[in-house]
Structure 1
Amino acid sequence: MQKIVAQIAQDLKVRESQVQAAVDLLDGGATVPFIARYRKEATGGLDDVQLRELDGRLAYLRELEDRRATVLKSIEEQGKLTPELRAAIEAVPTKQELEDLYLPYKPKRRTKGMIAREAGIEPLADALWADPTLDPAAEAAAYVKAEKGEDGSDFTTTAAVLDGVRDILSERWAEDATLVKALREWLWAEGLFTSKLVAGKDQNAPEVAKFRDYFDYSEPIARVPSHRALAVFRGRTLELLDAKLTLPEEAVPGQPSLAEGRIALHLGWRHQGRRADDLLRKCVAWTWRVKLSLSSERDLFARLRESAEAVAIQVFGNNLRDLLLAAPAGPKVVMGLDPGIRTGVKVAVVDATGKLVDTATVYPHEPRRDWDGALHTLGQLCAKHGVQLIAIGNGTASRETDKLAADLLKRHPGAQKVVVSESGASVYSASEFASQEMPDVDVSLRGAASIARRLQDPLAELVKIDPKSIGVGQYQHDVNQSELARQLDAVVEDCVNAVGVDLNTASVPLLSRVSGLSGAVAKAVVRWRESHGAFRSRQQLLEVSGLGAKTFEQSAGFLRIRDGDNPLDMTGVHPESYPVVQKIIETTGQPVQSLLGRADMLGRLRPELFANETVGVITVKDILKELEKPGRDPRPDFQVARFNEGVEDIADLREGMVLEGTVSNVAQFGAFVDLGVHQDGLVHVSQLSHKFVNDAREVVKTGDIVKVKVLEVDAARKRISLTMKLDAMPARRGDGPRDNRFEPARGGGRGRQEPAAPSAMASAFAKLKR
């Protein structure tokens, strides 16, 4: 364990004592949010990002140690574990290198090399390798068998014996861990990731055409961006693309390839015209072509996919975090409109607490075109319930419904309309929880209610939906689903606990994301609330069935009680620190109600005066900050993007238009912006700022409201190129785009373009340069 702690400390560039404390807490059942917020003294202030990384590395290194023990035991049982091999195995830092060392000892089916060794040919192979001046044919004559073996092996000719020599040497070299690692790293640094259209495929077929930029594609494998790697792998999975790892230079016929040269160099051998050199050259070539080329390609493709998936999952997690922490409209009466054409616009009104109070369906669009009737119905609902905000889903007929809402506001001023992402609303509507929450409401109307609630509080509503259904991912169906789910769950947990949860209004899905609370305990909390009424204090949590002292410790600080018996219960101060607050009260002579929000008074206090053996200075500082801004919400203030009148479809866009929109998704290569035309536009990373931008998230995040200028519109391919560089700036050398590659999305969100291959919008940037 000490070895693991030391490795993690080195990786995170922190002290071993910090890592050991965090590991002890995690092993003791503490959650990352709890440790990050309330155990800063123990961990030396490790934040949630560091703790998540630590937790991931801890799991990996423990798996590595378990596998290391298995490998050592296996080799030892074979009687082949030397002190040198044990030292090498105990020193390897990765699973890949461990498997490389284990390869020669790993139980495997009988190979040609094994068969040749069993036939007694290994001494010949050793002799020819040790002394290439020997004549292979002459030496092999002594090893020729009179007849075939009982197992079917045939070494009855000199050629067959020399083939056995080749199999023995090539297998031996292919299992040389040092050679395999050196060759793999060289190929990663120099190899090319290539793809071509599979022979016989119709390149004009719709499902094939979207991969056209990869029909003849080549790029250094170490520099392939995540989105392009995943696009090629997707094409290969669909059996549309043939992907290969190729050498930087093609081999000249009759001459050894670069890879063969690297193998020979590693072995310390070169062709000197000796009698056995031609045979040894064939053995080297065989080692590459038959043994190592395919396995190296497989290993490096796995490495590329793993790194590409890690980036894609990180992008998804970042976008999800931004969406969950988007500004809430707050406790306002909201009318949710779920747009539809023939099926009508579904309407749901929720009160300031999110309770569904009314529903309706109106038919302003084709085929009924009952515009006035729809306005009349909506107007009655506005007047009856005092609607303050109108949330419009951004799906089909969104702009037409937005126009309906605009006409409604002319008749009933005072409210405000907002276009809201409806991704995942249909998933929620059909969920078991939605049926429990709104048992007597039609599935289609539940979606409208969800749209209304996610405007009030995006976090509280979106936690009811599987994160993968929210639509802010990139190639989300092409990555490791268990790892995606694990990381997205961690993001949701961190967001929920960063904001805090109202104990008396939170739903079961929201409560189950609170530190320490399982789904079963969350249900028990709600049952207690329904039976006994609102919680008056955090201490009452201990009366909930199944919620013991440990769960209370982990969860209490993240649960808020407004207007309860103790004002501290509405803050992020943990109950275990209430005695510290009592000491502050005694020192200042002020009751707790008078302390809350008094930054002037609290700012003059010295944290050292209130620290003790259990509560350190860091925690006291946090307590004082919390008292200064009790129950503070880390989310930004609510604001709304205003779409341009008359711009309702991609056909309405023109080059040079300046529009306002909402960032719907962010990838490393750029940001997608919802302009209200059913198709997100792309601001390429080179168009985000006049300054160099490496990652789009340096400039924007999901949910940001931005102004953009239209560079180019390709209506036929549903592609919109945008820029955020609204003020002209003289072009400088090298200002051109570094990557402008797109491909239609697959399950990644509404009308979203995903990066694919070169030249998709080169004309837009060429015009920009001109």
Structure 2
Amino acid sequence: MQTMTQQIAGSMGLKEGQVAAVLELLEGGATIPFIARYRKEVTGRLDEDQLRRIQQVHAYTLGLQARKESVRELIGEKGLMTPELDTALKEAKTLAEVEELYRPYKEKRKTKATQAIADGHGPLADRILAQDRPFPVDEDPAALQAAGWIVAEKFSDDPKIRETVKNFLEKTGVMESKKKKDAVDEKGVYEMYYDFADPVRKIPGHRVLAMERGEKEKILSIALEFDYPALEQRLARQIIRRPDAASWLSAVMHDALVRLIVPSVRRQIRSELREKACNAAIAGFSVNLENMLMTRPLKGKSVLAWDPGYLHGCKLAMLDPSGNLLATDVVYPFRGKGQEAQAIRRTRELLTEYRPDVVVIGNGTASRESEALVADIIREFPEISYVIGSEAGASVYSASQLAKEEFPDLAVETRSAVSIGRRVQDPLSELVKIDPKSLGIGEYQHDVPQKQLKEALDFVTDKAVNRVGTDVNTASPSLLMHVSGLTKTQIARILRARPIRTRTQLESVLTPKAYEQAVGFLRIPDGVEPLDATGIHPESYGFARQFLQDHGLDAADMRSQAFRDSLKRINPVQEARRLGVGTDTMIDIIRELRNPGLDPRDSLDAPVLKKDVLSIEDLVPGMELQGTVRNVTSFGAFVDIGLHDDGLVHISRMADHFVKDPREIAATGQIVKVWVHNVDRKRGRVGLSLTAPKR
């Protein structure tokens, strides 16, 4: 019999040693980011997603084994355990399979069948079901009816019969939805589902969730339909062996199907479809969030953040390259000519005084008008560009306790402007302060299990933060909360100990385990130890220093071109063997020395900076544009091309070949070349394509 480690390795296509090593590290308190980054030799270079999958499968397998033991004991106490059942339990791979095996042995509530058994009709039912004697045609009709109830329940509890029914419904069934007779769907949200059908085996997850939401809102009715006669014929071939019992058994089977089996199997299939759809929605949300968090920052750029508004004005916030607030103001350009002139004058003054590199305009209410105004003003400032930034979640953050603590003297609206500006300067540092569910990138996020969603999004945020690393002296508590190994208590101690001069100082601030898990992800860019600015873990400093000494190099020269050039000629495999260190560790050491403070985001697309406004009136089919992917859904991608509303690239226009999942083609934050497919000026909608039009 396979061990748990062998089972997990087999299910994931990994080596048993890899799984065993990961489980041992996790058991010892290691975090997934730490294992992925600093234990590559031990795990065989497994990444964060693979490590998390091992963790999840291990937890599920533990639960599965515990349930098997519980079921085995419950059946054993009744003296009903058989070698065949014991083998079936051992071979069951899912909790659902275990529950199906246990179903016949559960304590039953009072039913027609239990009453019939109590009345003494069990032997008759068993005799008929055995089909080894002629059918008792002369038996009392009432007794035959009672025996039928018993046999129907036996059919319902039979795992093989239930499996036949489930397989038939999954392969041939159709999910249908209809609009309820008196339902009111004012905006026509569910119009496509008023008379809709999709095969169970092919229905996409987003349609399952949409239909279920419509059902929950009492607008739609949903049914899983199938060919009853065809199913009954299949079961008759499986069950009936005596022609003289055929009529009675067929009637009993029909009763079992209609009353017991089909309702249960329908619920089971819908539950599985829902679970699969939820998993897909959570996975899609996770991918979108990761891409958004890993958006390339505008490093070293000062910005004037502009949060648009009509009645309450446009809130301005001037930020230095580090995101520090220099000045704030509110202007009212859309309250008439006098106010517009004053707003233009004040904006010019701010631009003249602070000379920002970029104006960041929020994409909410009055964004279109603000963009036109700013584009006109910055014509006088050739060195200044503008960019449209996402406002999603900014208002939620600005009213939060965290924002109040960060900017106690600012109005809520001005805090929002600061957030909009900062999320362009350093998206990761700013977005970790905001609940991902407020970012507008999750499809059906309120319809999925919230605990599961939170765990997935927390994992993605942890992965992004640790992949980038953070300055221990400037990182916000919100960012530090996602650093490997740190707790609120540890973070409070770091904040009190600032400024941190060396990583060694952290040994007296953190517990030994927290120090081990966190220190590699905490950087000190201008500290006394040059290696503290890198992602090299202090446990490898000895190897790094020996390596540098042997090659006549000094860590203080890391940022010089000569230093980097000298590293290009070195073979990391030979160095690893010479120094007695793992090859992966040596490769990472050399990479970090060559690129101190390496930020994986720097290799991604930079935000699109603009000087001129694009109008929907300018668009014609076939026009080529550049845009930024703002969101990816199950049916396509929304791309910001500079209009008030994002254009949609439908899944059918994402490639020259069939695309199953839009996330195979597009990612949130990605800069893409698009072509205008169609323009609906009346509704303000633009259809885009990722493939060039055929000439």
User: In structure 1, what is the Cα distance between the partners aligned to 2:273 and 2:580?
Assistant: 47
Superposed, 1:191-590 pairs within 5 Å as: 191-202=173-184, 205-207=185-187, 209-247=188-226, 249=227, 251=228, 257-267=229-239, 269=240, 272=243, 274=244, 276-366=245-335, 370-529=339-498, 534-544=499-509, 547-590=510-553
Identity of aligned residues (%): 41
Q: What's the CA shift string for 1:118-144, capped at 9, x where partnerless? A: 1110111122223487455622x3xxx
Secondary structure of 2:72's partner? helix
Superposed, 1:7-46 pairs within 5 Å as: 7-46=7-46
Secondary structure of 1:113's partner? helix
Q: Please tell me whether the aligned partners of residues 206 and 634 of structure 2 are also in contact (alpha carbons under 8 angstroms).
A: no
Q: Please tell me whether the aligned partners of residues 509 and 519 of structure 1 are also in contact (alpha carbons under 8 angstroms).
A: no
Residue identity in the other structure for 1:586: Q
Secondary structure of 2:587's partner? helix
User: In structure 1, what is the Cα distance between the partners aligned to 2:451 and 2:336?
Assistant: 45
**Which deviates the most, 469-478 or 497-506?**
469-478
Question: What RMSD over aligned residues (CA atoms) do the two structures have, in Å?
Answer: 2.3
1:444 shift after superposition: 1.0
Superposed, 1:684-695 pairs within 5 Å as: 684-695=650-661
Q: 1:631 to 1:84 in 2, by over 3 A?
A: same
Residue identity in the other structure for 2:89: I
User: In structure 2, what is the Cα distance between the partners aligned to 1:4 and 1:340?
Assistant: 59
The residue that corresponds to 1:144 in the other structure is: none
Residue identity in the other structure for 1:243: I
User: In structure 2, what is the Cα distance between the partners aligned to 1:661 and 1:674?
Assistant: 5
Q: 1:312 to 1:637 in 2, by over 3 A?
A: closer
Q: What's the CA shift string for 1:147-190, capped at 9, x where partnerless? A: xxxxxxxxxxx33x333212111111111122222321232122
**Which deviates the most, 372-381 or 427-436?**
372-381
User: In structure 2, what is the Cα distance between the partners aligned to 1:449 and 1:99?
Assistant: 54
The residue that corresponds to 2:606 in the other structure is: 639
The residue that corresponds to 2:100 in the other structure is: 100
Q: What's the CA shift string for 1:663-705, capped at 9, x where partnerless? A: 1111343211123333222112221233443332333211122
Q: Please tell me whether the aligned partners of residues 502 and 528 of structure 2 are also in contact (alpha carbons under 8 angstroms).
A: yes
User: In structure 2, what is the Cα distance between the partners aligned to 1:71 and 1:123?
Assistant: 27
Superposed, 1:594-633 pairs within 5 Å as: 594=557, 598-602=563-567, 603-611=569-577, 615-633=581-599
Q: Please tell me whether the aligned partners of residues 398 and 676 of structure 1 are also in contact (alpha carbons under 8 angstroms).
A: no
1:66 shift after superposition: 1.9
Q: Please tell me whether the aligned partners of residues 677 and 689 of structure 2 are also in contact (alpha carbons under 8 angstroms).
A: yes
User: In structure 2, what is the Cα distance between the partners aligned to 1:278 and 1:182?
Assistant: 21
Q: What's the CA shift string for 1:636-665, capped at 9, x where partnerless? A: 3563436795644x6775544443322111
Q: Please tell me whether the aligned partners of residues 375 and 613 of structure 2 are also in contact (alpha carbons under 8 angstroms).
A: no
The residue that corresponds to 1:748 in the other structure is: none
Please point out which of 699, 707, 711 is paired with 2:673: 707
User: In structure 2, what is the Cα distance between the partners aligned to 1:120 and 1:715?
Assistant: 77
The residue that corresponds to 1:755 in the other structure is: none
Please point out which of 167, 176, 186 is paired with 2:149: 167
User: In structure 2, what is the Cα distance between the partners aligned to 1:164 and 1:643?
Assistant: 80
The residue that corresponds to 2:627 in the other structure is: 661
1:69 shift after superposition: 2.0
In the alignment of these two chains, the number of paired residues is 691
User: In structure 2, what is the Cα distance between the partners aligned to 1:643 and 1:294?
Assistant: 59
User: In structure 1, what is the Cα distance between the partners aligned to 2:64 and 2:90?
Assistant: 10
Tell me the TM-score normalized by structure 2.
Answer: 0.95
Secondary structure of 1:703's partner? coil
**Which deviates the most, 399-408 or 509-518?**
399-408
Q: Please tell me whether the aligned partners of residues 386 and 610 of structure 2 are also in contact (alpha carbons under 8 angstroms).
A: no
Q: Please tell me whether the aligned partners of residues 502 and 532 of structure 2 are also in contact (alpha carbons under 8 angstroms).
A: yes
1:92 shift after superposition: 0.3
Residue identity in the other structure for 2:155: W
The residue that corresponds to 1:68 in the other structure is: 68
Q: Please tell me whether the aligned partners of residues 644 and 659 of structure 1 are also in contact (alpha carbons under 8 angstroms).
A: no
1:698 aligns with 2:678: no
User: In structure 1, what is the Cα distance between the partners aligned to 2:103 and 2:336?
Assistant: 69
Q: 1:620 to 1:645 in 2, by over 3 A?
A: closer
**Which deviates the most, 388-397 or 104-113?**
104-113
Q: 1:427 to 1:565 in 2, by over 3 A?
A: same
Residue identity in the other structure for 2:441: V
Q: 1:583 to 1:182 in 2, by over 3 A?
A: farther
Q: Please tell me whether the aligned partners of residues 643 and 675 of structure 1 are also in contact (alpha carbons under 8 angstroms).
A: no
Q: 1:658 to 1:594 in 2, by over 3 A?
A: closer
Residue identity in the other structure for 2:457: L
1:717 shift after superposition: 5.8
**Which deviates the most, 13-22 or 49-58?**
49-58
Unaligned runs of 5+ in 2: none
Q: Please tell me whether the aligned partners of residues 183 and 218 of structure 2 are also in contact (alpha carbons under 8 angstroms).
A: no
Q: What's the CA shift string for 1:261-295, capped at 9, x where partnerless? A: 2322332x1673x2x43221111101111111111
Residue identity in the other structure for 1:206: E
Q: Please tell me whether the aligned partners of residues 651 and 659 of structure 2 are also in contact (alpha carbons under 8 angstroms).
A: yes
The residue that corresponds to 1:765 in the other structure is: none
User: In structure 2, what is the Cα distance between the partners aligned to 1:69 and 1:459?
Assistant: 46
1:49 aligns with 2:49: yes
User: In structure 2, what is the Cα distance between the partners aligned to 1:694 and 1:339?
Assistant: 38
User: In structure 2, what is the Cα distance between the partners aligned to 1:508 and 1:646?
Assistant: 38
User: In structure 2, what is the Cα distance between the partners aligned to 1:12 and 1:478?
Assistant: 29
User: In structure 1, what is the Cα distance between the partners aligned to 2:63 and 2:409?
Assistant: 49
Residue identity in the other structure for 1:728: K
Residue identity in the other structure for 2:608: A
